[in-house]
Amino acid sequence: MAPEPFLATRTQRVFIGTIMAQGAAVLAMIGLVFQYVEEHVPFDTIRYKSVPMYLAVFALAELFELLVAFDALRLRNIIQLIGMLIFHAALIVMSSLELIQTRNALLNTEGCAQDPTNYVQCSGPGTLIAKIRPFLIAVPCVLATAWIAMLFCIRALYFEFGWAIFHVVGADIKARTMYQYYQVIICLLKFDLFAYFGVEIQLLIVVLTSGTVDFAITIVSIPLALLAFIFCGYALRCEIKWMMSICLAMLLCVSALMVYKLYKYFKPYGDANNPFLTGRDTLTVFTVSGFLLIFATFCIGLRCLADFGKGLLDAKTHKHSSYTPLGTQLSDLFGKGNTPNRISSYTADVSTTKILID
């Protein structure tokens, strides 16, 4: 069968169009909030840093979501599309928290009591919070509307991409299950990258200053975590047990680091102010999500490690197959690779499963 052009169907185009439209709308509204706040408050003050953090995180999130959407459609990967729904739901939660977080950053009861006409520190008509509140409320509404549209699109794409499962009728169920676990962990690694770097970017913007222990830990951990994710994908594809074992240990260390960061957000600081206070809500959501994702990757990685040497290597490296299965190479983790025939990456084709059975 001849390769199908990318974005060949209406559903695919609507799906991408929905993500692009909501991304543009969300970034425009967040940009306006940033502009209005910047006109009246200094962002070098700790309590106001949650606003640029909010803009940076959502800019990163919208770009990441668009790239993952293109990647999922190119790879025809149903698992990744479902992961996008969960990711988008997390964005809705985070944007809902931002209204509370921004109020906490701007409003000051004592300052307003001393000057009831203070534009920044007071609430009510004619204040800064009243001006930006409609945008902060509109962001989760736009995201929720887009989530519903994405749900219907992904349902249609499931039937569009998932028909290839009939090609494996009579295939070894055990081999198919191993292959699906492999694809799940490859998908998880992509979301791990965003969750981890999202936490680190927020910390660097809001709290950390050079010369502190936390700053040093953050700077050192970023390249180590990136290497762990990259080599984990390579070890999975090539079934290198010693490398996979090291990567799993590194993932466990990253999970422990997430727990340590969460402790830092809430530990008592005595007479000193909690430096994480203004951005703590968003940081907590990101850190807990990152921990769950990375720990899930660790657990599924143990399962995949146990499956090494059980006949799945040819399916991963595309040997002895009439076509290249989608979404299985390390290069696919970073958006490279060719678009093959119209077939789902949800499972291997009949020729691959024959090899696994033999």
**Which pLDDT score is estimated for 272?**
64
pLDDT of 342 above 50:
no
> Distance (Å, rounded) from C-alpha 167 to C-alpha 163?
8
For residue 24, the model assigns a pLDDT of 93
pLDDT in the model for residue 130: 86
Structure confidence at residue 237 as a pLDDT band (50, 70, 90): confident
**Cβ atoms < 10 Å from Cβ of 186:** 27
Model's pTM, two decimal places?
A: 0.78
Sorting pLDDT into bands at 50, 70 and 90, what band is 89?
A: very high
Q: Hey, where are the domains in the chain?
A: 1-169, 171-320
| Other residues' Cβ atoms within 10 Å of the Cβ of residue 157 | 22
At 148-179, the pLDDT tens digits run: 999 999 999 888 776 544 443 335 677 777 77
Question: What pLDDT was estimated at residue 343?
Answer: 41
